[in-house]
Amino acid sequence: MRIVLHREIPDDDLLARQWNELVCQMECPEVFYTYEWALAVSHAYRVAITPLLILAYEQDSLVGVAALATDQTRRETFFLAAATADYCDFVSSPASRLEFVNLVFSELSRLRMPGLVAASVPSSSTTSYALATATQLHGYRTFSRPAFSCAQIVVGPSVERRNRKESVASHKALRYCLRGLGKHAPVNIEHLKSRDSLNRELPDFMRAHIARFSATGRRSNLADPERRAFLTELAGLLSASGQMALSLLRVGDHPIAWNYGFQFSGSWFYYQPTFDGDWRQYSPGLCLLSKIVEAACDDPQIERVDMGLGAEAYKERFATGVRQTLDFTATRSTTRYLREAARYHVAAAIKHSPRLEYGVRRMLGRVPAGVAQD
């Protein structure tokens, strides 16, 4: 393999095609690994981060993509998509992953990069083994820890699809909410894919997300212009291939729930949902998710609905399984390695000891004095 290094994501149709073909060779292809995702991130967040794109070729064939980035000091290296993607990984065929990751760390070593933070790597990926092996060869120490369990709904073969759809549609609470909405006006669902329809509806989605968070004293990430720019550009890029899916639940002509999602390689991704708080009593977000699951069951190309990061209770009502992710820290610094390991083990100990957790929360001022421990 020969390595080519870029400090930007090139505007290159051939690279885009080869990159996305390589994504399809992954163990579980994800939209987060695509050329379009990397391009949108690099444009929207160019002030804060600089791409470090490492490409591997065999003759003229692209065989590896490491879409990395550095901060402004170039002291921290991480996945370019780390702040936006639910899953991150090195892109290559599984069979060549170890060789490619080894070359990546050879390049990082040549560039005198002190380490790499590799977040949200699927635990089932061959990258777990490749990182543990390749880092040792180049003088890095690696610490890994569980990150998130991402809830998924596997729709299954035809009989299971029918049963799952009927199960969702017959849920008593959902039927009650949909009937309540129907008393105001007819309820309908749309899954928008075209650039024109996305450009028309995205501003309302963003305003609703900001308003919903503001109403509870929180700040939406869509209050950041970079995040809005990223989602807008990404929608335009993915609409060209039909992989974008902005789902809307309407009552009459009024949209009351949205999901900014994707349909990619058999997965329907429930990426960033929101709803109009004025309709909260009817659980519009849950109604929309149920309709997405029903639509997925009707589509033979969809194998699963991935609900992504976050352990919200409503996801447990639908989930049939989870996908675990891991965070890796590869560093040349023994001090940092020990600090990362100690931080994780202390946090794990606190989490599994209610008495210890209570004491720490008291010390941090998160439990009022006088409140008894159960």
The CATH number covering residue 221 comes to 3.40.630.30
Is residue 370's pLDDT more than 50?
A: no
pLDDT of residue 313: 81
pTM: 0.89
Cβ pair 326, 145 in contact under 8 A = yes
The verdict on residue 342 lying in a domain is no
152 - beta bridge partners? 306, 321
Across the chain, what does the average pLDDT equal? 89
Three-state secondary structure along the chain? CEEEEECCCCCCHHHHHHHHHHHCCCCCCCHHHCHHHHHHHHHHCCCCCEEEEEEEEECCEEEEEEEEEECCCCCCEEECCCCCCCCCCCECCHHHHHHHHHHHHHHHHHCCCCEEEEEEEECCCCHHHHHHHHHHHCCCEEEEEEEEEEEEEECCCHHHHHHHHHHHHCCHHHHHHHHHHHCCCCEEEEEECCHHHHHHHHHHHHHHHHHHHHHCCCCCHHHCHHHHHHHHHHHHHHHCCCCEEEEEEEECCEEEEEEEEEEECCEEEEEEEEECHHHHHHCHHHHHHHHHHHHHHHCCCCCEEECCCCCCHHHHHHCCEEEEEEEEEEECCHHHHHHHHHHHHHHHHHHCCHHHHHHHHHHCCCCCCCCCCC
Query: Given pLDDT bands bounded at 50, 70 and 90, which one contains residue 171?
Result: confident
Higher pLDDT, 1 or 14: 14
Q: Is residue 338 domain-resident? A: no
Name which of 3-7, 150-154, 155-159, 194-198 the model is least confident about: 155-159
Based on the domain organization, do 177 and 103 belong to the same domain? no
Tell me, yes or no, whether 130 and 171 share the same domain. Answer: no
Question: Distance between CA 183 and CA 286 in Å, rounded?
Answer: 18
Instruction: With respect to residue 255, please indicate whether it lies within any of the assigned structural domains.
Output: yes
Q: How do residues 12-51 score in pLDDT, each as one tens digit? A: 999 999 999 999 999 999 999 999 999 999 999 999 999 9
Number of domains in the chain: 2
> Which pLDDT band, with edges at 50, 70 and 90, does 312 fall under?
confident
State mean pLDDT over 221-241.
Answer: 97
Q: In this model, does residue 180 exceed pLDDT 90?
A: yes
Q: Is residue 337 part of a domain?
A: no
Q: Are residues 121 and 168 in the same domain?
A: no
Q: Provide the pLDDT confidence category of residue 255 given band limits of 50, 70 and 90.
A: very high
Residues 50 and 133 in one domain: yes
Provide CB contacts within 8 A for 89, sequence distance 6+: 26, 30, 33, 121, 122, 125, 127
Pair 196, 129 in one domain: no
Query: Do 202 and 119 sit in the same domain of this protein?
Result: no
- Chain-centroid distance, C-alpha 240: 21
Classify residue 315: in a domain, yes or no.
no
Residue 65 lies in a domain: yes
Q: Is the pLDDT of residue 295 over 50?
A: yes
Of 138, 97, 144, 98, whose CA–CA distance to 118 is shortest?
Answer: 144
The whole-number pLDDT of residue 348 equals 56
> Do residue 121 and residue 169 come from a single domain?
no
Are 189 and 124 members of one domain? no
pLDDT tens profile 91-137: 999 999 999 999 999 999 999 988 899 999 999 999 999 998 998 88
pLDDT of residue 371: 34
Q: Is 167 inside a domain boundary?
A: yes
> Do 12 and 139 share a domain, yes or no?
yes
Determine the structural domain holding residue 254 and report its residue range: 156-302
- Say if residue 96 is in the same domain as residue 12: yes
* Residue 356 pLDDT grade (very low, low, confident, very high; cuts 50, 70, 90): very low
Query: Is there a single domain that holds both residue 141 and residue 166?
Result: no
Quick one: 107 and 67 in the same domain?
Answer: yes
